[in-house]
Amino acid sequence: MSGTIPPELLSVHVLVCLGAGGVGKTTLSAALAVKAAMAGQRVDVMTVDPAPRLLDALGLDAQDAAEPREVALTDVQGRPTPRVGRLRALRLDPKRTFDTIIARHASSPAAAAAILNNRIYRNLSQALAGVGDYMAIERLLELSDGPTTDLVVLDTPPAREALDFLDAPRRLLDLINSRAITLLGGGMRRGLGVVDLAARAVLAAFDRLTGLHLLGDVQAFVHSFEGMYAGFAERAERARTLLGAADTAVAVIATAKQERIAQIKEFISELSACGITTRAVIVNRTLPVMPTAEEIARARIKPPLRRKLVRTAHEFAAVRQRETDAIAALRAALPAGVPLLKLPDLGREPATLADLAAIGEALTIL
């Protein structure tokens, strides 16, 4: 039994697409965004994947995509469009996002300049994966708060990294509340324990031996954020609430392979542990309908070609049976109430907006 996709999947405010590498998650994110926009919604789609594939498929310049760029929906031809909304796309630039947050929330332009010019900040804002995770959360908050946006579609990194990304608000709150901030910040000579004083002494000795002045730079960096920690904590809490909200949906993208089933169960379990409910699992690139060996045997074609085609049909039937078995096992492994959807293989790499629209139309519930 099949039908159209569950309407609630695109009627939410935030749709997060999560999946292992290579399952077509980026393409599906773009296709779902196009589908929602063609149905009249105002949609923003953001990728945190550094590869520019989503932007290529949407016809946007990867070099100028850190801010939302309008996608011309008029390029989609040959499809009924009773209502056309708006579609914008962007790719996350973690450092640019971090710089913008500093400039916006620092106590003064001088305080912002001190942070932006600090060498600890310059390295931190470009090198650590955890910073990128949290900057994506900040960007997601900004997009979701936009009064002219109905739906935000988020294309995440491969699933293991995506789980870290979704857990970024909690990790930031842990950091802000940790003793490390107290230990390294300025004005903390009173109230430090023996262990804290020893740690400071070790760092100071390291500075004297190396001449790097690391402790001073770190202290200056941490001290420069005074007055901003509460804002980071407040936004992290809002992000955690947003990701677990009723109008936020997570769709897990998969392929019909037995070896993926345990991985998908693990993803769903870990999402649940983060307070995030999986709203759908989408099986991508399912096999197309092909003539059976019996149908080919009755066809009026030359015997040599018929024999080759019959042999190929038997081989295809075996592959299809494995796919059918994998989908049945996946369905049995899913929690009650989580719909299973399928998307037949397009047969080519999507190169146009029309291709993405076709993918969105082909998506059905099993």
pLDDT of residue 315: 92
The amino acid sitting at 352 is T
- Residues in contact with 10: Cβ distance below 8 Å, sequence separation at least 6, in sequence order: 32, 35, 36, 39, 41, 151
Closest CA to 140 of 124, 128, 152: 152
Residue keyed to tokens 């996946």: 330
Structure tokens at 176: 């802000």
| pLDDT value, residue 182 | 54
The residue ranges of the chain whose pLDDT is under 50 are 1-2, 80, 179, 183, 186-197, 199, 203, 206-207, 209-212
CB 112 within 8 A of CB 103: yes
Helix (H) or strand (E) holding 282: strand 278-286
Cα distance between residue 120 and residue 220, in whole Å: 9
Domain 3-177+229-365, CATH homologous superfamily name and number: P-loop containing nucleotide triphosphate hydrolases (3.40.50.300)
Residues 6+ apart with CB under 8 A from 121: 102, 115, 221
The pTM is what? Answer: 0.81
Q: Quote the tokens at residue 215.
A: 């402790």
**126 phi/psi in degrees, rounded to 5:** -115, -20
Give CA–CA dist 39/107, Å, rounded: 43
Edge to edge, what strands does the sheet with 340-344 contain?
A: 3-4, 364-365, 340-344, 278-286, 248-255, 14-19, 151-158, 42-47, 86-91, 69-70
Q: Where are the domains of the chain?
A: 3-177+229-365
* Separation of alpha carbons 336 and 63, rounded Å: 43
Question: Which pLDDT score, from 0 to 100, does residue 211 have?
Answer: 46
DSSP state of 290: -
Q: How far apart are CA 248 and CA 180, in angstroms?
A: 33
Would residue 11 be called left, alpha or beta, if left means φ above 0 and alpha means ψ between -120 and 50 degrees?
A: alpha
Torsion sign (Cα): 240, 241, 245, 248: negative
pLDDT of residue 311: 92
Q: Is the distance from CB of 17 to CB of 25 less than 8 angstroms?
A: yes
